[in-house]
Structure 1
Amino acid sequence: MQSPASDLDQNWWRDAVIYQVYPRSFADGNGDGMGDLRGVTSRLDYLKDLGVDAVWLSPFYRSPQADAGYDVSDYREVDPSFGTLADFDEMLRAAHALQLRIIVDLVPNHTSDEHKWFVEARQAAPGSAARERYIFREGKGENGELPPNNWQSIFGGDAWTRLIEPDGTPGQWYLHLFDTKQPDLNWENPEVWAEMESVLRFWLDRGVDGFRVDVAHGMVKAEGLPDWAGAAAMVEGEQADAEDAGDAEAVAEGHMNPPSPFFDQEGVHEIYRAWNKVLKEYDGDRMLVAEAWVEPVERLVRYIRPDEMQQAFNFEFLLAGWDAQRMATAISGSLAAVESVGAPSTWVMSNHDTVRHTSRYGLSVPTSFPKGISPEQEQPDEALGLRRARAAAAVMLALPGSAYIYQGDELGLPEHTTLAADFRQDPAFARTKGAETGRDGCRVPLPWYADEANYGFSHGNADPAEPWLPQPEAFARYAADQQDGTAGSTLELYRSALELRAEYRLGAGTLNWAAVHDPAAGVLAFENNGVLVMTNFSEQPVALPAELLENHAVRLRSESSALLGEKLAANSTIWLA
């Protein structure tokens, strides 16, 4: 099927602004308390008015929902909780009619244990073709009672689970780098390759414009599955940075010493070269974006060489936090690295796996990266975090390349930091027995109308069910209807920034650090296509050269009070042109 958007500019993804929809929490079309595809369709005009170019949908496939849909039991069906294939097709048609592209999630590292392949594998004998689709091994010990190696799950606990064979005896072990209900596929098996390429074509034929690839640095494991002395984690970062930020677990698992045997293996690039060829069979310049927590950035950009993927998420920028030097370093390093392979950079501050940046920036250490925030932990300064988040958004949306907005970022939504343990559903919370708070706090359903039940999440339904996760009372003041048309609101700030970004073609521009750039003093300043962007990361106003204000007009302020005479206020950003 031809994408209705295919007549637009080629290489659209190089400077696109892409909005992440987490379907279960975006909009509830039928009133059952769970977001769905009809809800997404009902809000496409809102996204068009916001000024984004594309929408990325987190998984909506048939799934037992053990990990919020990242445990797929059928890659070609819509889960009934989200609707039907007909609902998807209608959403896609409506999006393309608005010239919004649609990117869907692809989960190729693992399936659900309820996928037909794994159901077959459970019933099949060791060494059978059914078991060869996954990673089964005999256990160690006298009777095979020990796991095949010492790998630990990203979600906590062993990465191996032992099967009980059909005759009731303990049998082989299977690998699951995540939950026990997410067995890893065996990418050494040609049948796995062929099946995933078939899945790509199924959705490309329906007209999707691209794929976000989950755990794109996974799939291929080191030969022999050797033991490993490192700590399993999705988030990478320098050990010192992690410790300084108060999160010693946020360490580089891919490039520690020794390197990880299950992430960033050379073989993944062969997969993406093959997928690149599949996408080129279709018109409309379809794209792949990698979720690859890989460092240093020089290794990350190997995923976006000309014959592989088009984009990779820039997690170095996300992890920089509220700090001028760290953010400037992330920007410079990222732009230099992507230039080496002729690809665009991407910029993102939050997603469905991270504490919202509005809350992270409000912590006493605003460069920290906690794995969730519980009522017992430090509570962020909500007002300060929002002020900094608005200033950071004005930086991100002025950078050359492609920008990603997580749903609710444009409303300034904070993390739900007081969510009771009884409501938490993240498998990481259960598998670590609460030691890891988990990701539920950033996944709370959006507020659309302050005075409606569920804050309008189930708008249009007479007697809606309670949302799948409870919303905090604070969401009322962040509701979209309270911000729509309200001067100075975060929603209007995003709309203005996106309009100016398009007017000045900032996504296609070139960054040059300005003369007033001084990260050591807390000032980040750069020029891009005739726009001068200045941010004050410090807690004190900073003086601006008089000629700047004399020779430029202020086009954007992150706060109405961002300019104090000839000074840039604390925690503020301005655009001058």
Structure 2
Amino acid sequence: MTVTSAKLDLSQTGTTLHRGATDSAWWRSAVIYQIYPRSWADAKGGGVGDLKGITSRLPYLHDLGIDAVWLSPFYTSPQADAGYDVADYRDIDPIFGTLDDAKSLVTQAHSLGLRIIVDLVPNHSSDEHEWFKAALAAEPGSPERDLYMFREGKGENGEEPPNNWQSVFGGPAWTRVTEADGQPGQWYLHLFDPKQPDFNWQNPRVREEFESILKFWLDIGVDGFRVDVAHGLIKQEGLPDWTGAMNMLDLTDMEKQHPPMWDQDGVHEIYRDWRAILDSYNTTGDDSKDRIMCAEAWVDPPSRAAAFVRPDEFHQAFNFDFLQGAWRAEDLREVIEKSYAANDSVGAPTTWVLSNHDVVRHASRLGLPIGRPRPNGIGADDEQPDAVVGLRRARAATTLMLALPGGSYLYQGEELGLPDHTSMPDEFRQDPTFARTGGKELGRDGCRVPMAWEKDSPAFGFNTTGETWLPQPEVYGSLAVDQQDGVEDSTLELYRTLLRIRRERDLGEGSIVELDSPADTVVFRVECRAEQTYVAVNLGSDPFELSSGATVLVSSEPGVTTTLPTDTAVWFTA
């Protein structure tokens, strides 16, 4: 390979993309770690993770250097969608433990300086929720049915669904019920699984109930909420037909036309009321105790996403454009520029993310050919990612992400470089998407596999029995925590170093300047408290030289001093 002769010109003024916030509220620059409770640590040994298991592993997260923990749902649930089908929002499902276990977890986390963010699922409940059971028993037009989206069908005898909407998980978004007289009756809307009926958010009682749920968990001491399907609560009046795609994770159609089930303006009134509740729990003059909300809002363009983080609504919203961006310099530059422009226009931090429980892990995703659409799961019969290239790019992408001012979210196990389970036999799959599409969409099981703690222990240390609700791939053994802890240049130690330097240099609170750089590279200067930190990423095929006098602070690949190899990122001073 040749080395590009051009060097970085660090004397250039550059283009300022974002100026650091004047306040230092913790959530503006927080690094938040997502735990998928089913797959983190299993204290009982039954094969499903639990709250006591999470509590036992909190010191690991403290040592990693994160600020807060986001927990996916642990509420009472029949687990039709792994807990995103909630039957009781004020209690813990027995597979995870008890309400006392949850309280203990919050207390232990706070003692370690960690905050706890819990998932809230307001778009739909389980069909086993007491409200929905009462709605099924009640008559059409009753107050009980008005809590959900019940409608009369079309056709001579109501035999056709009220509209043509399809479920995100595949198949129709409507299910017909059998009435008390044994005859087919009304239809109810479920944008996801039939066991997840959508609430009617035009009903004041629904709004009152969720305000009460917020207060319940705030009184227990949680530090905030990640709100599931935050863009879906309000549907367009009249529920008109929709011919676009229903995959919530694909923003393509949203760019062309506005879907009637997503991102309706009426959702913002709801979140302004919620923000007022959270603010009422804050301590005046102490923003370190702010209670926060983060929106899962798959919307486009960025200006629509920014509407969710106006000063009186959410504190954060996931940057899914960044997650979905191709591994190309021009794509990275564009999404970073647009993200800062949109969020700065409303005074909100940009919140970066690369992996979560709904997408193929970036250690696998980035090992696929550049520019391909992001798959909804990878199976044994699919083209397999290049594991070496994928991990190399994943380490570089994270090195870039953690240098960017704003907040960042990490997904459990990414600090180990865990890939998706791309060879999982189909008989183990549990994602409702797999069943409802007849296997055409594999779904999200591959990214939800239990964590790897110890190479030579049962279930790689997930528990002591070896039972796991999803099978773990063999490669997880060599990537387990005990194989990387204290090992120089391991992915775990890279994350620890990145998080330590990020905190020491206050990178999350800084201003960021984009610099001109050689083709297929991106270079930024982050300025905070009179310090300048440079981050450079090489996405091209040839190495290039850093500027003379550069002092490397950390690099995504070992041995970087003056020359930056391909698929590598570096932080340095000059």
Per the TM superposition, whether the score is higher than 0.5 is yes
Highest relative contact order (Cα 8 Å, sep 6+), 1 or 2? 2
Is residue 321–residue 368 contact of structure 1 (8 Å, CA) maintained in 2?
no
- SS of the residue 2:86 aligns to: coil
Superposed, 1:371-450 pairs within 5 Å as 371-450=376-455
Q: Partner of 1:507 in structure 2?
A: 508
Q: Partner of 1:532 in structure 2?
A: 534
Q: Deviations over 1:130-180 (max 9, x none)?
A: 000000001001110000001110011100000011221101000000000
Is residue 171–residue 436 contact of structure 2 (8 Å, CA) maintained in 1?
yes
- SS of the residue 2:169 aligns to: coil
Query: Could you tell me which amino acid in structure 2 is paired with residue 555 of structure 1?
Result: L
Of 27, 30, 44, 1:13 maps to 27
Query: Could you tell me which amino acid in structure 2 is paired with residue 431 of structure 1?
Result: R
Q: For the structure 1 residues 465 and 488, does the alpha-carbon distance in structure 2 shift closer, same or farther, using more than 3 Å as the test?
A: closer
In structure 1, C-alpha distance between the alignment counterparts of 2:127 and 2:214, rounded to whole Å: 21
Q: Partner of 2:544 in structure 1?
A: 542
State the shift of 1:220 in Å. Answer: 0.2
State the shift of 1:365 in Å. Answer: 2.6
Q: Partner of 1:560 in structure 2?
A: 558
> 386-395 or 322-331, which moves further after superposition?
322-331
Query: Could you tell me which amino acid in structure 2 is paired with residue 388 of structure 1?
Result: R
Whether 1:133 aligns to 2:131 is no
In structure 2, C-alpha distance between the alignment counterparts of 1:367 and 1:426, rounded to whole Å: 23
Query: Could you tell me which amino acid in structure 2 is paired with residue 469 of structure 1?
Result: L
State the shift of 1:553 in Å. Answer: 1.3
Q: Deviations over 1:63-100 (max 9, x none)?
A: 00000000000000000000000000000000000110
- SS of the residue 2:34 aligns to: strand
Is residue 95–residue 101 contact of structure 1 (8 Å, CA) maintained in 2?
yes
Is residue 355–residue 415 contact of structure 1 (8 Å, CA) maintained in 2?
yes
State the shift of 1:364 in Å. Answer: 1.9
In structure 1, C-alpha distance between the alignment counterparts of 2:411 and 2:157, rounded to whole Å: 49
- SS of the residue 1:336 aligns to: helix
Q: Partner of 1:303 in structure 2?
A: 308
- SS of the residue 1:72 aligns to: coil
- SS of the residue 1:330 aligns to: helix
Whether 1:26 aligns to 2:22 is no
Is residue 458–residue 466 contact of structure 2 (8 Å, CA) maintained in 1?
no
In structure 2, C-alpha distance between the alignment counterparts of 1:118 and 1:441, rounded to whole Å: 31
- How many residues matched? 541
In structure 2, C-alpha distance between the alignment counterparts of 1:366 and 1:379, rounded to whole Å: 15
Q: Deviations over 1:511-537 (max 9, x none)?
A: 101243x4xx21111010211111111
State the shift of 1:381 in Å. Answer: 0.5
In structure 2, C-alpha distance between the alignment counterparts of 1:94 and 1:323, rounded to whole Å: 42
- SS of the residue 2:477 aligns to: helix
In structure 1, C-alpha distance between the alignment counterparts of 2:486 and 2:391, rounded to whole Å: 19
Is residue 231–residue 297 contact of structure 2 (8 Å, CA) maintained in 1?
yes
Of 193, 197, 200, 1:186 maps to 200
In structure 2, C-alpha distance between the alignment counterparts of 1:68 and 1:366, rounded to whole Å: 31
Q: Partner of 1:474 in structure 2?
A: 475
Q: Deviations over 1:397-442 (max 9, x none)?
A: 0000000000011000001000010000000000000000100000
Is residue 562–residue 573 contact of structure 1 (8 Å, CA) maintained in 2?
no
Is residue 230–residue 256 contact of structure 1 (8 Å, CA) maintained in 2?
no
Superposed, 1:237-276 pairs within 5 Å as 237=251, 251-252=252-253, 254-257=254-257, 259-276=258-275
State the shift of 1:322 in Å. Answer: 1.7
Is residue 425–residue 440 contact of structure 1 (8 Å, CA) maintained in 2?
yes
TM-score by length of 2: 0.93
Superposed, 1:85-100 pairs within 5 Å as 85-100=99-114
State the shift of 1:478 in Å. Answer: 0.6
State the shift of 1:366 in Å. Answer: 5.5
Q: 4+ runs of 1 displaced by more than 6 Å? A: none
- SS of the residue 1:474 aligns to: helix
Aligned CA RMSD, in angstroms, stands at: 1.1
Query: Could you tell me which amino acid in structure 2 is paired with residue 217 of structure 1?
Result: H
Give aligned-pair identity as a percent. Answer: 58
In structure 1, C-alpha distance between the alignment counterparts of 2:384 and 2:136, rounded to whole Å: 45
- SS of the residue 1:478 aligns to: coil
Q: Partner of 1:241 in structure 2?
A: none
Superposed, 1:272-291 pairs within 5 Å as 272-283=271-282, 284-291=289-296
Is residue 326–residue 370 contact of structure 2 (8 Å, CA) maintained in 1?
no
Whether 1:59 aligns to 2:73 is yes
- SS of the residue 2:478 aligns to: helix
Is residue 320–residue 367 contact of structure 1 (8 Å, CA) maintained in 2?
no
Q: Deviations over 1:267-293 (max 9, x none)?
A: 000000110111111022111100000
Is residue 321–residue 360 contact of structure 1 (8 Å, CA) maintained in 2?
no
- SS of the residue 2:90 aligns to: strand
Q: For the structure 1 residues 10 and 96, does the alpha-carbon distance in structure 2 shift closer, same or farther, using more than 3 Å as the test?
A: farther
State the shift of 1:542 in Å. Answer: 1.7
Q: Partner of 1:573 in structure 2?
A: 569
- SS of the residue 2:117 aligns to: strand
In structure 1, C-alpha distance between the alignment counterparts of 2:270 and 2:560, rounded to whole Å: 48
- SS of the residue 2:570 aligns to: strand
Is residue 542–residue 569 contact of structure 1 (8 Å, CA) maintained in 2?
yes
In structure 2, C-alpha distance between the alignment counterparts of 1:264 and 1:320, rounded to whole Å: 21
TM-score by length of 1: 0.92
Is residue 310–residue 343 contact of structure 1 (8 Å, CA) maintained in 2?
yes
Q: Deviations over 1:223-276 (max 9, x none)?
A: 111111212111133xxxxxxxxxxxxx33x4433x211100010000001101
Query: Could you tell me which amino acid in structure 2 is paired with residue 137 of structure 1?
Result: R
